[in-house]
Chains A and B, each alone.
Chain A
Amino acid sequence: MHDAPPSRKVPFLNDPANRSIIYQTGVLLMVGVLSYYLISNTLANLDRQNIATGLGFLQKEASFEIGESPIRYSAADTYARALAVGVLNTLIVSFIGIALTVILGTLIGVARLSGNWLVSRIAAIYIEVFQDIPVLLQLFFWYAFFYEALPGPRQAVNPLSGVFLSNRGLVFAIPVYHPAYAGMGLALLIGGVAVLLLKRWAHKRQDRTGQTFPVLPVCLAVVAGLPVLTWWLAGAPTQMNVPVLKGFNFQGGLNISPEFSALLLGLVLYTAAFVAEVVRAGIQSVSRGQTEAAMAIGLKPGQILNLVILPQALRVIIPPLTSQMLNLTKNSSLAVAIGYPDFVSVAGTTINQTGQAIEGVALIMIVYLCFSLATSAFMNWYNKKMALVER
């Protein structure tokens, strides 16, 4: 009776695969037509209103100064270089911010789980307070704190020789450049590679013989020792660039501005509260039985954390941690409110001076998209590395 072949011909339009292709093509076409219409319409309107378009302005002289810059910059440089300074400033504050946030967030997350009542309460209060206050408000608070609480440069606090603290920022002496420092950097790099190799060797040795190797002290000795040795061999240069009060401000040395400090502090304290919760959730996701089992086979507390709990907790921690990192990077654009020259601030000035808002805003979107994609890509790679390996 039912002897029809199993691959009965489905009408073309009723085949789900064909349908989905048709729908998707339709939607794509609609998006394409719409974007074409909007873009051509915008270009026509801009042209009609005699508004310049294109990225030609990037090669023109910027003619404005930027408060702080990791690379040499003056008003005589181009807009492209000014924007590059903005990108670098954003990168610096995001990078340092993320590093500090992860450290502080982990500490508070662990403290939150502490058996000590006082410690866990303090961590809980910290998390609640900093999570619940808008980050912009926190930035204003820290910025106002820096410029209101600290004295002017002429009455600067001088806790150590060569270190000055005022409402212009923290200024301290740095070594004058000497070829030895390049050598030290190289030595540090070599030390790092050596440490990696050593770790791998120690691991293999333990697998083979069951004997552990004191990796940490040896690593520290290699990482710290090699650069110091290089420095000594290169003639031990000690000349310092000491800041001196000249006119209105300190000249020389390295200056960490109140804007940068306020932005960094605000972002780190705010994001760390979220990271702490992420870390706590991750640790709690590992069942208590695992710890007990690890204790039963005689692992030390440090080993339990490193070998049993963290590898499992990290799988839960990393994805939400990534989104917190992205949040910190994006929130760094609030810098405009407290005068730190980040990318948005520099791009804003550029937009105003050139009048090319569409190009400027597009640049801002592209730069933040790149930051976010790069962060996600790295974290996804790390997540994969940390994912449970089934053997």
Chain B
Amino acid sequence: MKRRETISVKVLAVVCMSFFLIVGMWGCGDSGKVSELQGKIAELEKQLATKDQPAPAAATAGSTLNAVRTKGFIQAGVNGDLFGFGKPDEKGVWRGLDVDTARAIAAAVFGDADKVRYTPLTAKTRFTALQSGEIDVLTRNCTQTLSRDTALGLDFAQVNYYDGQGFLIPKKLGVKSAKELDGASVCVLPGTTTELNVADFFRANGMQMKPVVIENTAELAKAFFAGRCDCLTSDASQLAGIRAVASNPKDYIILPEIISKEPLAPAVRHGDNQWKDIVSYSVWALIAAEEMGITSQNVDAMRTSSDPKIKRFLGASPGNGKALGLSENWAYNIVKQVGNYGEIFARNVGVDTPLGIERGLNALWTNGGLMYAPPFK
């Protein structure tokens, strides 16, 4: 009897441990949200039963905006380690094109661009963070693709940077074109479309490659500069950033071939159309402001402009704000506090920064680029 009892105590202990383990494993992330989610499910089921809607939606319209308003800030997923796009400066202040995009959304929602908190995410963790509701918007140099838009349960808002994948290579190798890279060792950052694009490019051209896939950007760059790989592949904007930190940036060139289309866009959860509209129009507001020649310097003067387009845009003639569920001067706040797209580009990645990137595809459509905003009416 005694022996049996000790055995049963042991069994009990093991069962309890596995119980806590399972709870711990499933619980991390959204333990507190289970009941909330359950409530939402019940609510949704009710809606489905009454309205007979076909597809269930991830987030009900307006739920993100309400949640954001309640907590008083926007939780934005950013890169955290990419100079020019999302990285804290030496004082710990977040800087970058993606950071400014998130700030523009905060300015639109709260009238205060500083009401953003940042979650640095790796390429691998970013979608899970958004899906699980840990962040409200993902502004992390993230490429819009069909499978991400569908199978991942995401929605992409307006593109804030048109990028493309290229190759960075030491000048001394004397390579002039990516078509000469047969047999090369290629340093690749994992968990991105980069791995797929580079494999496609080499396959399409009947060439062999040996990838070296290192998780961390800084570690990858170190291995590349030490000569572990013949070339490094990533989005051209990232290549410029990596080259900028080389001991001698002039020893490296970016090959002319751009082997992929990388429209980098902010992403939101699928289904909350109102929140997606707000994110999209925040980006478009940046572009529209540049189109209309409104800058953070002259926005106050422009407010008294007699041009009906500008009046509508800045909220002097009301309507736009109400339609989006925001205050009427949302676009004014964006331009006043963050600037227009041209200002953001010049400040973070433009030719006068260490990255030295030309506007190229990211110029306004009137200057031969792709940046084009719909009418604000």
Which residues of A approach B to under 8 Å, CB–CB? 16-17, 20-21, 23-24, 27-28, 30-31, 34-35, 38, 41-42, 44-52, 63-68, 74-76, 140, 143-144, 147-148, 152, 167-168, 246-249, 251, 258-259, 336-339, 341, 345, 348-349, 351-355, 357
Contacts and interface: CB of A to CB of B under 8 A. Distances in A.
A148 B15 CA distance: 50
B257 interface: no
B23 interface: yes
Contact of A51 (B23, B44, B153): B153
A353 B190 CA distance: 10
A28 B9 CA distance: 14
B212 interface: yes
Contact of B12 (A24, A41, A67, A337): A24
A48 B4 contact: no
Contact of A67 (B124, B153, B210): B210
Interface residues of B, number: 69
Given A16-B5, A247-B183, A357-B128, A48 B211 contact: no
Contacts of A336: 190, 214-215
Given A41-B37, A148-B226, A349-B190, A355 B152 contact: yes
Given A49-B269, A65-B209, A38 B26 contact: yes
Contact of A64 (B22, B151, B195, B271): B195
Contacts of B56: 47-48
8 contacts: A35-B22, A46-B153, A48-B56, A51-B151, A63-B199, A65-B202, A249-B185, A355-B147
A355 B184 contact: no
A66 B211 contact: yes
Given A147-B223, A339-B212, 7 more contacts: A20-B4, A49-B270, A143-B223, A144-B222, A337-B219, A339-B220, A357-B127
A26 to B, nearest CB: 10
Contacts of B44: 48
B199 A27 contact: no
B148 interface: yes
Interface string B26-43: 100000001001100100
A140 B219 contact: yes
Contacts of B181: 248
Interface of B: 1, 4-5, 8-9, 11-12, 15-16, 18-19, 22-23, 26, 34, 37-38, 41, 44, 55-58, 123-124, 127-128, 131, 147-148, 150-153, 173, 181-185, 190-192, 195-196, 198-200, 202-203, 209-216, 219-220, 222-223, 226-228, 230, 269-271
Contacts of B213: 67, 339, 341, 345, 349
A228 to B, nearest CB: 35
Contacts of B22: 31, 34-35, 38
In the A-B complex, the 7 residue pairs with the closest CB atoms: A20-B8, A49-B153, A352-B191, A49-B58, A75-B199, A339-B214, A355-B152
Q: Count chain B CB atoms within 10 A of each CB in A50, A52, A246 and give the residue with the most.
A: A50
A176 B137 CA distance: 56
Contacts, number: 169
Nearest to B150: A50
Given A17-B4, A30-B19, A351-B124, A167 B12 contact: no
A352 B223 CA distance: 23
Given A48-B58, A66-B211, A168-B185, A20 B5 contact: yes
Given A28-B15, A249-B185, A351-B124, A64 B196 contact: yes
Contacts of B227: 147, 152, 167
Nearest to A48: B56
A352 B192 contact: yes
A48 B57 contact: yes
Tell me if A's interface is mostly helix, strand, loop or mixed: helix
Nearest to A37: B34
Nearest to A31: B19
Contact of B153 (A38, A50, A148, A348): A50
B375 to A, nearest CB: 31
A344 to B, nearest CB: 10
B23 A34 contact: yes
Q: Count chain A CB atoms within 10 A of each CB in B44, B148, B173, B213 and give the residue with the most.
A: B213
A175 B10 CA distance: 57
Contact of B8 (A24, A67, A152, A339): A24
A24 B16 CA distance: 10
Contacts of A21: 8
A328 B212 CA distance: 23
B8 to A, nearest CB: 3
Nearest to B224: A147
B230 A248 contact: yes
Nearest to B228: A147
Given A35-B22, A41-B34, A63-B199, A248 B223 contact: no
A352 B142 CA distance: 12
Nearest to B194: A64
Contact of A31 (B15, B57, B214): B15
A23 B34 CA distance: 27
A357 B132 CA distance: 12
B131 A49 contact: yes
A363 to B, nearest CB: 15
A148 B22 CA distance: 44
B183 A23 contact: no
A50 B26 contact: no
